[in-house]
Chain A
Amino acid sequence: MDSVTPFIVLSSILFTIGAVGVLTRRNAIVVFMCVELMLNACNLALVAFAKQHGNLDGQVAAFFVMVVAAAEVVVGLAIIMTIFRTRRSASVDDASLLKY
């Protein structure tokens, strides 16, 4: 049986790309997509470790991550829409009212 290490490496790469995306992109929706990418990378690691240990708990954890991600996306996108409605912009730089 072959190792699950390549899956973990791929998961790390995807997580890193998602993290860099959150830091560099300015559009709030794209930032959100990068957060989803990070969650997905974690799911891949969970499922790979479930296979490594022969234990379904990892898959249950991945399932819960998906549920929480769905709830998070619904509320997050509603917040983005509300901000867009009042400020006419989806950029994360424009919502800086607390700074002043």
Chain B
Amino acid sequence: MTAFYILAPIMVLAALGILFVRKAVHAALLLAVVMISLAILYAALDAPFLFAVQIIVYTGAILMLFLFVLMLVGVDASDSVVETIRGQRLFATLGGLVLGLTLVIGVSQLSLGTVVGLTDANEGGNIQRLANILFSRYVFAFEVTSALLITAALGAMVLAHRERITPKATQAATAADRVKAYAETGAHLGPLPPPGVFARHNAVDTPALLPDGTPAADSVSRVLAARGTVRAAPRDVEAVQRSINYHPDGTPTAEDGPDGRATGSTTTEGGE
């Protein structure tokens, strides 16, 4: 029971967190906490087979599927706070409280009698005994399960499949479109400038500098710009030259090497 009293508060807190977090990814991770804790509770309840199945099927397969779909659907698809039905949230919470209190009070009032325990039922191994029951009394339900799984797999394939309506764009067609756009609107024909060219960093979040020193907006991904994580480019060419200690007039200061870079102290010591 020690495991229970450690895990139960964690599970309730994580489950409550699912109700309150804004981002769906956080909800999925909190659900993972609940499910792994449940697996440990199964182990504490003499169900080692379900312990393994819970981790493999729920945490491994189902939650990964959730995260996969979240990535496809868009991680930033957070909940809207607008209530479609007025007072729905309040009434749902009140109804939930009533349901929860009724269940908890009712369950804690009834006496279940002495616990028989699974030591007898698990004799010879939990998995072996489960298999005996599954393939004798529940064999029909087990077979129906296989039909259900095949139907679900087919359904997922049919639903997630998308028929291509327009033909796939070939390289020649793309090139023709570019030239056409250039002829009509004067759009730039060549590739976009890569980030960081002539800037202080060559990281993708640093815009390239144009010859006049202004940052080129095209050189960073639009996603980064929308997130607002684009680094500030150095203000002008002089700032860049100062930052790399470059002197275009060819008069390096005393501590500069012949290539305009500062020479390290080791080289100076080696020259002595």
Contacts and interface: CB of A to CB of B under 8 A. Distances in A.
Interface string A18-33: 1111011111011011
Interface in A25-72: 25-27, 29-30, 32-34, 36-37, 40, 43-44, 47-48, 50-57, 59-60, 62-64, 66-72
Given A64-B141, A84-B73, A59 B152 contact: no
B12 A13 contact: yes
B72 A81 contact: yes
Most buried by A among B82, B96, B134, B138: B96
Contacts of A6: 1, 4, 8
A80 B69 contact: yes
A20 B117 contact: no
B65 A77 contact: yes
A2 B3 CA distance: 13
A74 B31 contact: no
Interface string B139-172: 0010001001101110110011010000000000
Nearest to A73: B62
B27 A90 contact: no
Classify chain B's interface size: 35 or more
B112 A56 contact: no
Contacts of B70: 29
A93 B28 contact: no
A51 B45 contact: yes
B91 to A, nearest CB: 8
B99 A19 contact: yes
Contacts, number: 235
Given A16-B103, A24-B89, A69-B62, A75 B79 contact: no
Contacts of A69: 58, 62
Given A19-B99, A74-B65, A24 B34 contact: no
A4 B112 contact: yes
B50 A90 contact: no
Task: Place the interface of chain A in its size category.
Answer: 35 or more
B257 interface: no
Contacts of A62: 47, 50
B130 A79 contact: no
A12 B116 CA distance: 22
Contact of B130 (A9, A24, A34, A60): A60
Given A69-B62, A90-B74, A59 B50 contact: yes
Contact of A1 (B28, B53, B117): B117
B129 interface: yes
Contact of B155 (A14, A78, A90): A78
Nearest to A53: B116
B108 A9 contact: yes
B66 to A, nearest CB: 7
B243 interface: no
Interface stretch (B35-43, B185-193, B216-224, B226-234): B35-43
